Amino acid sequence: MKTTIIALALLFSITIEAQTDPKIYDIVDAVSEDRLRNDVKKLADFGTRHTLSDTLSETRGIGAARRWIKSEFDKISSNCNDCLEVFYQKDLVEKGTNQRIVKDVMVVNVVAIQRGTKYPNRYIIMSGDIDSRVSDPTDYTTDSPGANDNATGMAGAMEASRVLSQYKFENSIVYVGLSGEEQGLFGGQGLAKYAKENEWEIIGVLNNDMIGNITGVDGVVDNRTFRIFSEPITTDITDPKTLARQARSRRFYGGEVDGISRQLARYVHKTTKTYMPEMNPMMVYRLDRFGRGGHHRPFNDQGFAGIRIMEAHENYTQQHQDIRIENGINYGDTFEHVNFPYCKKLTAVNAITMASLASAPPSPKEVGIGGVVEASAKFKWNKVEGAKGYKIYWRDTTSPTWDNSRYVGDISEFTLEGIVIDNYFFGISAVGENGHESLVVFPNKIFR
């Protein structure tokens, strides 16, 4: 009898402590380097995919490119019992909107939605870009293969859909090719607005922009490291009183490095470290590269969590360049510079992050923290439907990652005995029956 109880207890603790899901390893393995290579080649061979380029030709220009992308998503869908909803989402951008829009243009995104079984209106989004450019951003006729920037991100989104469409997930997954990136982030703006208008509940946006270069202009060759850019806190609120209140709260309680995009970045970091430990995810605590931006930004602007996933070492002679040889240097973003084993790895990083998040229950919305001048930190949160339990995380205030955690069951308050509130940052995630976890929520309430 006693043995049975011990055995049961052991089984129970193994189940709740399970850190890995074998399905996720299968997903890593299923991502195909060959298919990525074929897709990048195909995209580069459209000559140019400049946002303002020809839309009528069947072989050249952004029109041909987006029709091909849509036809690929349609094909992928027919291989999974029509599991993808594939459509164009478009907005007219008028000449003169900025200096790079030299004529009226329809900015067209290609969207494929894999509908969630339990939370159809909750979305995790992976984006790449359809468009490309050369040295002059308004030159829409010259050859602009955009192999790394950003056929790699586009091919990654398509390949992730091939792999993940073989599974079912509780939350919806969106695979999207955005346009107008190089002209001023227009495709992202269009889709972010569409999402807002249609009341999408976005879990997060994984914007992939340049995921295939391993030979940096800095001389470093590195096929392990990649960057995860995230802005520190949300930037959609503009009301001065609310901003002042939030600033005051951060001054006393912290939170300046714990916005929703940062939690998404940590989730990518953790998922990678768990399932692909050979990789070196490098979080960068800034929206994007110095003074620059990408297609996650329009989503951030609408208050959604969004990050950029990108190679760690860029090569500027191979982006936004006319194809030419100058002083013995081959300029241009051409197919032969792309490293496909690396592109496969970064595509897998996206796929496993999305598979995990799409399998997880929603995060608790309200997370309260207490324990001022006490020996222990206390927590209260709202229960989430579909969660079998919760995980309380804490870390040193100087640490970038959630280093300590304590699983608690299906309860809504807990005291972390002996952990003094003053010395750490805290957060809580919801854990599903299958062991998959939501994003971590930084406390948004204080109680005594």
**List of residues contacting Zn ion (CB under 5 A):** 149
Closer residue to Zn ion (CB): 209 or 231: 209
The pairing of beta strand 324-326 with beta strand 329-331: antiparallel
Burial of 41 (0-12, 13-18, 19+ CB in 10 A): middle
Min separation Cβ 129 and Zn ion, Å: 8
Minimum separation from the CB atom of position 153 to Zn ion (A): 10
At residue 349's C-alpha, the angle toward residues 206 and 331, to 5°, is: 75
Which residue in this structure is represented by tokens 């920037």?
A: 149
The nearer residue to Zn ion, 261 or 319, going by C-beta atoms, is 319
User: What is the C-alpha to C-alpha distance for residues 140 and 62, in angstroms, rounded to an integer?
Assistant: 10
Q: How far is the CB of 319 from Zn ion (least distance, A)?
A: 6
Smallest distance from Zn ion to CB 132, Å: 8
Write the DSSP assignment of 325-359 as a string of letters: EETTEEES--GGG--HHHHHHHHHHHHHHHHHHHT
Give residue for tokens 């796929």.
351
Nearest to 387 by CA among 205, 119, 168: 119
Q: How far is the CB of 178 from Zn ion (least distance, A)?
A: 12
CB of 320 to Zn ion, least distance (A): 6
CA separation (Å) from 335 to 44, 110, 148? 7, 23, 7
Nearest residue to Zn ion, by Cβ distance, number only: 149
For 16-58, the three-class secondary structure string (H helix, E strand, C coil) is: HHCCCCHHHHHHHHHCCHHHHHHHHHHHHCCCECCCCCCCCCC
DSSP code at position 317: G
- Closest to Zn ion by CB, 128 vs 371, is 128
Q: Minimum Å distance from CB 269 to Zn ion?
A: 24
**Cβ nearer to Zn ion, comparing 72 with 149:** 149
* Ramachandran angles phi, psi of 382, nearest 5°: -85, 140
Q: CB-wise, 149 or 231, nearer to Zn ion?
A: 149
Q: Is 287 helix (H, G, I), strand (E, B) or coil?
A: coil
Shortest gap between Cβ of 106 and Zn ion (angstroms)?
20
